[in-house]
Amino acid sequence: MNVPLLGLETEYGIIREDLENSDPVEESMELLKACARKSVFRKWNYSRENSHLDMRGFRVTALAQDEEEDAFCAADRARPYSYLDMKCDRVLTNGARFYNDHTHPEYSTPECRTVLSLVAHDVAGERIIAECAAIRNQELAGNPLQVFKNNTDYSGHSYGTHDNYLIPRGIPFADVVDGLIPFLVTRQLYAGAGKVGSENPRANHFRGLQLAQRSDFIETLLSIETMTKRPLINTRDEPHAASERYRRLHLILGDANMSAYATALKVGSTFLMLNLIAGGDKLPDLELADPVGDVLKVSLDKTGKTVLRRKSGGTIAAVEIQEVYLETIEKKFAGENPEWDWILAEWKKTLGELKHSPEKLSDRIDWAIKEKLFAEFMQSEGVGWDDPWLKSLDLEYHNLDPDRGLYRGLQQEGAVHSLLDENEIAAAVLSPPEGTRAQIRGKAVAQDADDIKSIHWTGVEFTNGERLDLTGVICVEEVEDVLNSKGQLV
């Protein structure tokens, strides 16, 4: 058994700086309308969605998000739009979905088979959204619309970046939970995007830079919820695939990384962990006594030396947990393929530098890039971590505007690691990853957009009644069978 598909969903922050009280729903709609890329518009098949099944074997009758949905609907009834109008769903020629998730534009990558392909499609999403923002600002005759790839507005709101993995249903869900929890608690050592201060009362008025943005908002171990009681592991059982064969592991605790390298390490290490669990190997006993509390505890100490209590007794440092997992995975998968070897090598290098020379991380790990950048700013301006200026800079680090975004400026100066070349990004903007069902979806949009009646991750329905059922299409051979049987898509 292995993990065949990966994906990323990112909700973006959005604001109109020329309006005192801008409406994020309206602004998200206008951003999506501004998209000039070929796409299928407002034809997403919501009847294929079911968010109430739980991986623990039951169906919930209601979610907290249902109440919020009802509240949104009550407010939305005053708007002169239909539900589909407000969602503004677009499915692009690269197989991605771009839509309005109530108050945030959200970009969902196509399904990918490799980590580096996924990273390229994540960056392609940034490019597409920045392009839409530029078009919208031309309409506004200025530059008032700003879009941020981050996870907090510093007003108590958090919006998500979700990494997704299609895993075999034959793996007991309890094994996934037991194997992943200590890993996820400590993954933020290299995957955190960095955050000035804290919005969590348990942080005791923390001053400085913590590792991760989402760590302030994790409240429980397991939950089907995503907008309240945010869990370490989300238990929603909505595979968007053949349910008898697969689960979709939907992780909501991660940060939005500006560094493509950090995204690759975040997703790559998790991908290898899941493949280790899928193999049925005995995992190290690293169960934590208080994993939920440890999420914030780890985030508030950038050294990785934070000592965590083990359920079996004794303690272990956060970075040591990562080292134990790395060593176990290295023994199992070293030499498997070049991409996995790259992940293992970079994972080891990063943990080593975290322990012995953390300043070397400041060209590729987001929180470390911020730490260096903000330290230089504070020294030049004579301000401290509690100055409101620092939170503004934190937001600007994630701004997609090439003339304002601090990360974008560092890219232009060559001060941060470039994992991808422009050709890889440009290809991902236009084309789907080959050998996945996204290739079929993308081809359908590119060649038959006007003839598509509805579209979803699991299939395409055409106006002439023909259907492409992609529910069971996962491996390369299955994709090739569909492509070869549908002449118009070849």
Q: DSSP for 399-418?
A: B--TTT-HHHHHHHHT-S--
Q: Which amino acid is at 215?
A: S
Count CB neighbours of 148 within 10 A: 23
Integer-rounded Cα Rg, in Å, for the chain is 22
- Choose among 56, 294, 329, 108: nearest CA to 184: 294
Spatial contact of 111 and 437, defined as CB atoms under 8 Å apart: yes
Q: How many other CB atoms are there within 10 angstroms of residue 422's CB atom?
A: 8
Instruction: Give residue 349's Cα distance to chain centre.
Output: 23
Distance CA(116)–CA(339), nearest Å, equals 8
Determine the Cα–Cα distance for residues 232 and 292; give it in Å rounded to an integer: 7
Alpha-carbon span 390 to 290, nearest angstrom? 31
* Active-site annotation holds for 101: yes
Annotated catalytic residue within 76, 85, 101, 178: 101
The alpha carbon of 33 is separated from its chain's Cα centroid by a whole number of angstroms, namely 23
Q: CA neighbours within 13 Å on the CB side: how many for 126?
A: 23
CA angle 284, 323, 300 (to 5 degrees): 110
The H or E element that residue 90 is part of is strand 90-92
- At 236, give phi and psi (nearest 5°): -60, 130
DSSP for 191-219, written as a single string: H---EES---GGG-S--SEES-SGGGG--
- Catalogue the active-site residues: 101
